[in-house]
Amino acid sequence: MLLVVAATALALMMLVIVTTARRNPILQTPNHDPNLHLHYARLRPPTQPAARSGSPTKPNQHVSHILGTTFVDIVLGLLLLVVLWLLIAALIAAYRRLRLTRRRAHQGGELPEIDDAVLESITAATGRQQQLLLEGDPSDAIVACWVDLERAVAAAGVERHPSETSAELTIRVLDSFEVDRTALGTLGRLYRAARFSEHPANEQDRQQALAALVRLHSSLHVADRAGV
């Protein structure tokens, strides 16, 4: 929340700086012509200005002023874009945390705090589960992989609801990490088909389960780095 407030304040400051830098003064002192004199309400004709010697410098000064102003505008614009990007990133992170909190409350209470040690116990099973998928009959391999995933999730110490199965607990805990839901759903569907269907799984099902497992653990690592 502090990051959002700080980013908002910086964005407003940059906007004020850019606006102030480009604003022209409202009141200007009228130019005074030294050749124009008033004497008893009579105007004297202006004298002829003396010829200037040397090369003119005002055009060069004007070009330098334009280039300097343009450079400052570009730098301020880039800084403003960076601040806005940080603000958007902070808002997205805050929204994700709020959505995660609401979903946990909707699922029947807060999950216990899952620290790095528990995450390591879940992700440490990645290699073992991939090896289980590659061994033996496709149906047995898919079932063994899912059961091992259930055991890894159970190590987090999350208690099951009275009407909740081990598979439902696994889905609930993994879903709280903002993992790849499509991969999680695919792996769960293949597990149910391999365990309860009359048709045995084939090699194509094994490859689908392996790909889903890889995506699942990859998204779990991303959620861990994001601090979810």
Mark the ranges of the chain whose per-residue pLDDT is less than 70. 1-68, 96-118, 221-228
Assess whether 183 and 204 both reside in one domain.
yes
Cβ(126)–Cβ(206) under 8 Å?
no
Same structural domain, 169 and 221: yes
Q: Are 171 and 218 contained in the same domain? A: yes
If asked whether residues 106 and 124 sit together in one domain, one would say no
- Determine, yes or no, domain membership for 49: no
The last residue of one of the domains, among 80, 110, 140, is 110
- For residue 8, what are the domain limits? 1-22+66-110
- Predicted structure pTM score: 0.51
Per-residue H/E/C for 87-131: HHHHHHHHHHHHHHHHHHHHCCCCCCCCCHHHHHHHHCCHHHHHH
pLDDT of amino acid 140? 95
Which residue, of 77, 110, 143, is where some domain finishes? 110
Domain count for the chain:
2
- Residue 192 has a pLDDT of 94
